[in-house]
Amino acid sequence: MTRGKVYLVGAGPGDPGLITVKGLECVKKADVIIYDNLVNKKFLDFAKRGAEIVFVGKMGGVHTLPQEKINALLLKKAKRGKVVARLKGGDPFIFGRGGEEAEALSAAGLSYEVVPGVTSAIAAPAYGGIPLTHRDYTASATFITGHEDPTKGEGRVSWDNVAASKGTIIFLMGMKNLDQNMARLIEMGRDPKTPVALIRWGTTTRQETVLGRLDTIVERAREKRLRPPVVAVVGEVVALRERLNWFETRPLFGKKVMVTRSAEQAGKFSALLEREGAEPYEFPTIATVPPPRWRELDDAIKHLSRYHWILFTSVNGVGGFFKRLEKSGRDLRELKGVNICAIGSSTARAVEKRGIKVDFTPREYRAEGVLKGLGRRGIKGKRFLLPRAVKAREIVPEEIERRGGKIDVVPTYRTVRPRGKVNGARRLLTDGEIDVVTFTSSSTVANFMAMFRKEEGAALLSGTRVACIGPITAETACGYGVVVDIMPETSTMEGLTEAMARFYTD
């Protein structure tokens, strides 16, 4: 039997962007992924189809599997010829027991590689605005475990040398013995007024930083009810945070934003929100599925040469049209001589990614803007194709017909209401844990309301801010008695994100 291989992968400190390229490659090719509690679950989305995923983390102080059984699991999978990605928070060789796992694999004669990761010991302070070394402050840094294994007997931290050093001290897993560790440093001669920072959930949108001194930080942590995971930083460099705090000062930092877009499209919006410091909560109220029948679209594709214009009103419309074009055995040559109108910059980009030039994108992303622009280019006597959702506003088709044009409206996709997550969303809204609920189309509003009991949806939204992508969506929300707080000048995901950022900074 072919022997497998184990990759001991450092998954980084929490921010999914901080895993290494090689680490992510290991995740993608693994037959088995074995991961800890502090590993960002987003990495599991990169697992190949059919990969076995095993959680072995510690939750609430209780190990899902003790270390000996984790070692045995690694050996078992590798001996069966599996490629194993052992995902560990931070770096596997910095208080991650990666050395113990490597020893077990080596003793068994199994193949393995160590893929270093960004440790929270350096990442959390960096995201907290604290450089661990600085030529005006210190030239050394010491990493210490916040709690030693009680089975070791005599402690292995040389407290007198650590305290006497003028360098920065970093405690990983720093909360359990915070009071004893701070007291030991003072006892061994470190100045009680030395600045201290406690950074919880470093590098994530949940990051929280508590400042104090050696003689006050324990009380400050109690006041803030700080809980693990925490990295503690002791040293004069902590004072630099006042000038270098870049991460927690972003406009949407700490705001929890509900994203109601479809699961397929939520990722891009969530990434924009995270860039501004928000914590997205994805609650899809809409899903895109094929139309009931393809007959109308297939017929239009067979006769594309008869159209003067194709009007694309959404990314979904673009995707559905070109998938069907390809399935019919045709290609882009069928569009020769046909003008393309794309409503919205995202829709235009979706068209242009396919190597097609967009001839007209209206400045105003609504029916009036479309008709105004087409009117200048001539509507009378022209034939238009509108691939869109099964149900949509009729203003554009009706107005084109009224102005002497001919338009074929063909269903390219339909939107449905997904199931699930309603109870979770209800709880978050009821408990006031959501700061902003976002709606990106009238369908997301209507479906949100339909997913809750009658009049419950509007009541839930009364306790939070509501952001709508444009006037049509806002009009729909107002029709349900919802107050719209935020609306961008440009009806795009980027525009909506910027409008939310302005709302919280102006």
Tens-place pLDDT, residues 157-208: 888 888 888 899 999 998 989 999 999 999 999 999 999 999 999 999 899 9
Is residue 249 situated within a structural domain? no
Whether 253 shows a pLDDT value over 90: the answer reads yes
Range 230-234 average pLDDT = 97
E strand spans, 227-359:
230-234, 256-259, 279-282, 287-289, 309-312, 339-342
Range 109-131 average pLDDT = 97
In this prediction, residue 344 carries a pLDDT of: 82
CATH number for the domain including 475? 3.40.50.10090
Going by pLDDT thresholds of 50, 70 and 90, the confidence category of residue 149 is very low
Among this protein's residues, is 36 annotated catalytic?
yes
Going by pLDDT thresholds of 50, 70 and 90, the confidence category of residue 151 is very low
Closest CA to 349 of 268, 430, 424, 403: 268
Range 85-103 average pLDDT = 95
Residue percentage of the chain with pLDDT more than 90: 76
Is residue 17 situated within a structural domain? yes
Same domain (yes/no): 299, 411: yes
Tokens of 72: 């045995």
Same domain (yes/no): 197, 54: no
Q: Which of 103, 118, 133 is the last residue of a domain?
A: 118
In this prediction, residue 53 carries a pLDDT of: 97
Integer CA distances (angstroms), 498 to 254, 266, 276, 362, in order: 16, 17, 9, 21
Q: For the ranges 94-108, 135-149, 256-270, 444-458, which has the lowest average pLDDT?
A: 135-149
In this prediction, residue 396 carries a pLDDT of: 86
Whether 232 shows a pLDDT value over 90: the answer reads yes
Same domain (yes/no): 69, 160: no
In this prediction, residue 181 carries a pLDDT of: 93
Range 237-250 average pLDDT = 96
Same domain (yes/no): 277, 424: yes
Among this protein's residues, is 451 annotated catalytic?
no
CATH number for the domain including 69? 3.40.1010.10
Going by pLDDT thresholds of 50, 70 and 90, the confidence category of residue 263 is confident
* Contacting residues for 258 by C-beta, under 8 A, at least 6 apart: 280, 281, 283, 425, 428, 429, 434, 436, 437, 438, 464
In this prediction, residue 174 carries a pLDDT of: 82
Whether 252 shows a pLDDT value over 70: the answer reads yes
The DSSP element (H or E) to which 237 belongs, if any, is none
Range 271-284 average pLDDT = 94
Q: Which of 15, 31, 36, 91 is catalytic?
A: 36
Same domain (yes/no): 408, 302: yes
Same domain (yes/no): 112, 140: no
Q: For 306-339, what is each residue's pLDDT tens digit?
A: 999 999 988 899 999 999 999 999 888 889 999 9
Report the C-alpha gap between 263 and 419 in whole angstroms: 12
Same domain (yes/no): 315, 215: no
Is residue 492 situated within a structural domain? yes
Q: At what angle do helices 442-450 and 471-479 cross, to 10 degrees?
A: 20
Same domain (yes/no): 157, 204: yes
Is residue 50 situated within a structural domain? yes
Whether 156 shows a pLDDT value over 90: the answer reads no
Same domain (yes/no): 399, 316: yes
Is residue 134 situated within a structural domain? yes
Tokens of 278: 């928000």
Report the C-alpha gap between 433 and 425 in whole angstroms: 10
Q: For 13-40, what is each residue's pLDDT tens digit?
A: 999 999 999 999 999 999 999 999 999 9
The bridge status of strand 406-416 relative to strand 287-289 is antiparallel
Q: Which of 244, 269, 302 is the last residue of a domain?
A: 244
Same domain (yes/no): 195, 341: no
Q: State which residues form the domain around 217.
A: 122-244
Same domain (yes/no): 239, 156: yes
Q: Which of 416, 432, 450 is the last residue of a domain?
A: 416
Whether 233 shows a pLDDT value over 60: the answer reads yes
Whether 251 shows a pLDDT value over 60: the answer reads yes
Q: For 38-83, what is each residue's pLDDT tens digit?
A: 999 999 999 999 999 999 987 656 667 899 999 999 999 999 999 9
Same domain (yes/no): 114, 171: no
Among this protein's residues, is 506 annotated catalytic?
no
Report the C-alpha gap between 82 and 74 in whole angstroms: 10
Mean pLDDT value across the chain? 92
In this prediction, residue 10 carries a pLDDT of: 97
Is residue 251 situated within a structural domain? no
CATH number for the domain including 198? 3.30.950.10
Q: How many domains does the chain contain in total?
A: 4
Whether 437 shows a pLDDT value over 60: the answer reads yes
Report the C-alpha gap between 125 and 236 in whole angstroms: 13
In this prediction, residue 491 carries a pLDDT of: 85
Q: Which of 22, 28, 48, 58 is catalytic?
A: 58
Q: Which of 79, 173, 408, 421 is catalytic?
A: 173
Q: For 494-504, what is each residue's pLDDT tens digit?
A: 999 999 999 99
Residue percentage of the chain with pLDDT more than 70: 96
